[in-house]
Structure 1
Amino acid sequence: MSLKSFLRKHLKIIVTIAVTIVAILCRKYISYFSLIDEVKVENKSVPIFSPDQLKKYNGIDESNLYLAVMGVIFDVTQSEKHYGKGAPYNYFVGKDGSRGFVTGKFKDESEEKDHILDLTCNELLTMLDWRKTFREKYPAVGLLAGRYYDKYGKDTNYLKVLKERVQKCKEDKDRAKKEEAIYPPCNISWSEDEGSKVWCTKSSGGVIRNWVGVPRQLFTPGDEKPRCVCIQLDKGNSSQLKKYDGCPDTSEECLVQDT
């Protein structure tokens, strides 16, 4: 039997076997990558480090320099001038000091040094930017068992809550951007002679548009104080908006009574 005839006769079986192999490989690697939130680990399996094991990768006990960001371990040996002994960021080596990337506290050796759930949304998103920077610059070599991952490399409840919080922060940020397009911030200044002044232009608040608008106070639920925004008169009927006392309805600038 020729090869061509063999392939034609057994084509269905060959295709079935091939599809099965691909499915197994895909399932393996999808599971593998999901463990590290799309951070590529160089090895075929994901090594899980204990805190004591990670501590040894300080450039002395072990020659390489490892640090963890939100539970993902990166090899930063190539940047020894920044992370080696006596270098500015040596604090982060051999541990997960994620909190320090935002707080700037490089002496925190408490159990809270990798705790970030209590940070503000802006701080959490900054933390994600840091992780993205490490992901793009350094090879990820494993996961740290502890706050973010368990000893099997699976998400802890802490990480699950963090992911939900981050998702909400991103949604709030997107919502704020959309709101800012509708209600751009005012320009604000203060002088001894006039006190506080708010005014609108076609670029106030850094939002470029083809209309100027008039200043109004926008009261947002949950915020202690209103903020000044520019509105279009024909679209300013929201109950959350309030005029400034003593300021004409159509004026593009208002003097604000300081309280």
Structure 2
Amino acid sequence: MLLALMTDLHANREAFAACLAHAEQQNVTRYAFLGDLIGYGADPAWVVQTVMDYVSKGAYVLMGNHDVAILQEDKQGMNPTARQAIEWTRAQLSPAQIDFIAKLPYRIELQDLLLVHANAWAPEKWEYIDGVMEAMRSMHASKAAITFCGHMHIPTLYHMTLTGKTGEFLPTPENGIPLSKQRRWLVIPGSVGQPRDGNPAACYATFDTETLELTYYRVPYDHETASAKILRAGLPPALASRLLTGN
């Protein structure tokens, strides 16, 4: 099975459509969406409906912190920009789409693989994996050999030896990486809809469950259109400018 791993779509129709088209060209056989389908972007209804369509064909999907926020009255934990986007987003979604989000799981286990949005130790608390120590904590919290997670918008790969020594590196797009069974791995594909590493191109990854080969991709898309739609929707301008710079 060739699994496409897409996370932090953030209601960005242009980026999501480009990644789906690219994944189809790679002959992907199954999809996993690791949360944050919505928030920030101007096309939440289209993105959620598209994910729903893929789920009906066997795709996996997780709850993200922006997803759960539309179900909560108290959004004090979010910054004002994110909160404004979530309040606008809820009004764009149909009751069926909100019900779909409400039923999303926080974790999915697939044999020796774990899918989470934020981390393995407390996936519903949204703490970040922003370094080796947090990556180690997440890997120790799971028996899975390979964990895939989102939340961090920068593509990163962590590895831990049998003795517990942990390291990280930033992957090069389109170079296959064999994930040795002699190590444990934590894979962060980067964000489809809101890259934050200085490159506006969308991020996602594929994983071959037979060969254990992981490949990261960067997919250029019409970020100028996506940015302009955010402004037309009356959302905070910072959300629009972020798509132009990838920061």
* TM-score interval, smaller chain: under 0.3
Higher strand proportion = 2
| TM-score normalized with structure 1 length | 0.23
Higher relative contact order (CA 8 A, sep 6+): 2
Higher helix proportion = 1
| TM-score normalized with structure 2 length | 0.24
